[in-house]
Amino acid sequence: MRLARRLVALPLLATLSLTACGGLDPDDTVPDTGGTAQGSEGFPLTVADSRGEVTLDAAPERIVSLSPSATEMLFAVGAGDQVVAADEYSNYPEEAPTTDLSGFTPSVEAITEYDPDLVVMANDGEETVSQLEAVQIPVLLLPAAVGLDDTYSQLELLGEATGNGDEGTKAAEQLKTRIDGIVAEVEESGASDLTYYHEIDAAMYSVTSETFIGQVYSLFGLTNIADATEDTAGGYPQLSAEYIVEENPDLVFLSYPDGAQDFAERPAFDSVTAVEDGNVIELDADVSSRWGPRVADFAEDVAQAIDATKGQ
């Protein structure tokens, strides 16, 4: 089947005129990680992604992940040994087979060098999905989660699609239980009436409560100062320094390196309550932006910041 797929792919790829943005050198040997699904019972299997139904003839043994969140989820559901290649930003867990494949501008030619029997993507750049399916490579398109329920659903789906259904269900349940417990501990210590500001970069781009990041904060009852802006820019508005100072948030979260120092040194920002009280928190940029299993770590960081503020 794989040989037939490669033979079909060759003439089609020659006509696509795509620029390879990652993968092996044509003279290299396709790496074999020995990946094997936990079980093949239940295959052929039809699952549903964001486009509709996808049929898998057998449990995949050579998965290419072009989404850092999907990579983390694949390992969380016990399918890590089945992943033979991951995109350039898939830097977690440590054993993830990171390559220079791009998840934003995927190259069909580069992807097929890894001879995958399943590709998992978050973005359908340049109609990659249809091109891969044309050469008989099944694709799961799992876009960014809108809320935590999407994270749980994607964990379960990836478990099922990789022959690790029980592990997928367990991973989703454990993640939900952990997050619910973190939120409950904050609620037990008293309802929060704190305001916050989340900054993505030094250009003062933020997030509203409609985003996945914002919904995590909403679990704790925090008020987002970015929600009151006139133009929410699809959930990621750029705020002005004057607006931030005027709104005077109790908590500031920064998801870029050395953000705390940059924030505190801005003119007039020393008068912001969060700066005065030492409640400017630097977050891990990957943990706070991905919708995979480490979202619980993000929730825990927020909970700890709230507890520290209440103790002042």
Kindly report, residue by residue over 248-283, the tens digit of the pLDDT. Answer: 999 999 999 989 989 999 999 999 999 999 999 999
131: left (phi over 0), alpha (psi -120 to 50) or beta: alpha
pLDDT by residue (tens digit) across 118-142? 999 999 877 899 999 999 999 999 9
Cα angle, residue 129 at apex, residues 68 and 18 outer, rounded to 5°: 95
Residue range 191-310 forms a domain whose CATH class is alpha beta
pLDDT (0 to 100) of residue 188? 76
pLDDT of 233: 86
**2-169: CATH class:** alpha beta
Alpha-carbon gap, residue 62 to 43, rounded angstroms? 16
Whether the domain at 2-169 and the domain at 191-310 fall into the same CATH topology = yes
Provide the pLDDT confidence category of residue 43 given band limits of 50, 70 and 90.
very high
Average pLDDT (41-70) is 96
pLDDT at 39 over 80: no
For the ranges 39-43, 93-97, 197-201, the lowest mean pLDDT is seen at 39-43
What is residue 187's predicted lDDT score, i.e. its pLDDT? 83
Give the whole-number percent of the chain exceeding pLDDT 70: 86
Instruction: Please state the domain extents for the chain.
Output: 2-169, 191-310
Confidence of residue 193 (pLDDT cuts 50, 70, 90): confident
Q: How confident is the model at residue 232 (pLDDT cuts 50, 70, 90)?
A: confident
293 — pLDDT class (breaks 50, 70, 90): very high
Q: DSSP per residue over 89-131, as a string? A: T---STTS-B-S--SSS--HHHHHTT--SEEEES--GGGHHHH
Tokens linked to 176: 């939900």
User: What contacts 16, CB < 8 A, 6 or more positions away?
Assistant: 108, 109, 131
Q: Pick from 77, 83, 81: which is nearest to 167 by CA?
A: 77
Confidence of residue 11 (pLDDT cuts 50, 70, 90): very low
Q: Report the predicted TM-score, pTM, of the whole model to 2 decimal places.
A: 0.85
